Amino acid sequence: MADAAWDVIIVGQGLAGTTLAWFLRAAGKQVLVVDADEPVTSSKIAAGLITPITGQRLVKSRNYDELMAAAGRFFTWTERQTGRTFFHDRIALRLFRSQAERQNWSERRGRPDYQAHLLTPQPAPLLDAELGDAGAGGFAMHAAQLDVPAYLEASRAVLAFEPMNLDWQRDVAFGSGVRVGRHQSRLVISCEGYAAARNPYFSSVPFNAAKGDILSVRFHRSVPAQSLHRGIWLAPTADPDIFSVGSTYDWKRLDRQPDPAARREIERRLKEFFHVPYTVLEHRAAVRPILSESKVLAGLHPGEKRLGFFNGLGSKGALQAPYYARCFTDFLVRQTPLPEAVDVARHIDRGCAPPILPTR
Ligand SMILES: Cc1cc2nc3c(=O)[nH]c(=O)nc-3n(C[C@H](O)[C@H](O)[C@H](O)COP(=O)(O)OP(=O)(O)OC[C@H]3O[C@@H](n4cnc5c(N)ncnc54)[C@H](O)[C@@H]3O)c2cc1C
């Protein structure tokens, strides 16, 4: 072990791997991040929206306040570390699509834990009639947005990084430490997103992944830099004229091929209420790494303690990554137990796991 150049090698520089690398580095660990450097990944196309009240039922996200506090602290800290800006406060407008949604909201809006996220006073009108139709009502809330590509790029410039498309059978060998390509380390951690479904050591981890298509559109009139949610969402980008519009959920075709039917669906929903003419600049798709029960999982392989796993950020990578990366770091560095629900070990049957490859 004395010759191990790295304490940890992280495989995957998406939201999971990047965020974990920052926490481990801050805890004094020597960390190398390797990544296949693919042009389209879930993190690279994500809109980075962080919204407290979501979905058709208009419920507040589970543990939102705790997760958001961790995200806010972490992303503003990384902005200082990198000298770049990528974390923004946003106003999110939620417009109702149906009477049922309006009814759901009327049952919740008075609760203090919901009130705390609402703008006071609420904007009137909610949406400029020249932009779109907010006739069925809605509400405005405090939200946030991570410019995910900018965060990944700024982090890559600071973290030790190497492009590598890692084949676990070919490139990884466990001995007294672990060899990853030409590197020696004490620990290797898979942060591979949906690609981890093909990782031979974690094949029993239950994915419920969903492909999402997203459009990049240029509006032909100025649109305020707010996110807008009504069946689909519109999210600002670094260019004030360009918005991301998405997204769809497809649990069957788990590939990164843009789907013309998904594009039609997004545009249909956009035109239902938004009047501003636009041009579609780009259409991309990727697979969200959703695990069953929408749980984030982390921890060490029960058959090989030099092998770790961090995955399952699902549709809420920007909100969840910092809180869970800190939990995992506390476990690795300070032996703080992982919450049982988070521990990946409970999904791996030691007896059925593929044999850990011997040292070469
Ligand atoms: C259309 C769409 C919109 C979204 N919008 C939002 C949003 O608004 N807000 C939000 O919070 N979340 C959003 N998400 C979800 C978010 O993108 C994910 O939660 C997050 O990106 C998952 O990050 P990850 O690092 O786990 O996986 P990934 O982003 O998939 O990253 C994994 C990385 O590992 C690399 N890799 C994999 N295997 C290997 C290997 N063997 N060797 C080397 N490298 C490897 C991949 O190339 C990739 O770079 C969206 C997702 C989609 C698809």
Domain residues for the domain of 283 are 210-288
- pTM, full prediction: 0.96
For a ligand 1 pocket test, name from 251, 315, 344 the mutation site with the most ligand atoms within 8 angstroms of its C-beta: 315
pLDDT at 4: 60
For a ligand 1 pocket test, name from 34, 41, 86 the mutation site with the most ligand atoms within 8 angstroms of its C-beta: 41
Q: 47 CB less than 6 Å from ligand 1?
A: yes
Higher-confidence residue of 1 and 278: namely 278
pLDDT at 56: 84
Quote the ligand 1 centre to 187 CA distance (angstroms).
22
Give the CB-side neighbour count of residue 176, counting CA atoms within 13 A: 4
Are 325 and 230 found together in one domain?
no
Are 219 and 325 found together in one domain?
no
Tens digits of per-residue pLDDT, 281-312?
Answer: 999 999 999 998 879 999 999 999 999 999 99
Residue nearest to atom 16 of ligand 1 (CA): 317
- In a domain, residue 113? The reply is no
Please say whether the beta carbons of 158 and 137 come within 8 A.
Answer: no
Q: 19 CB less than 6 Å from ligand 1?
A: no
Which residue type does 39 have? P
Are 186 and 300 found together in one domain?
yes
pLDDT at 338 over 60: yes
Q: What does the DSSP assignment read for 153-190?
A: HHHHHHSEEEE----HHHHEEESSSEEETTEEEEEEEE
Q: What is the CATH number of the domain that holds 251?
A: 3.30.9.10
Q: 43 CB less than 6 Å from ligand 1?
A: yes
Are 202 and 239 found together in one domain?
no
For the CA of 210, the closest atom of ligand 1 is 53
Count of domains observed in the chain: 2
Residue 120: which of 101, 141, 150, 104 has the closest Cα? 141
Which residue type does 306 have? R
Tokens read off for 286:
């990727």
* Confidence at 356, pLDDT banded by 50, 70, 90: low
User: Is the preceding omega at residue 247 within 30 degrees of 0, hence cis?
Assistant: yes
pLDDT at 2 over 80: no
**What single-letter DSSP state applies at residue 129?**
T
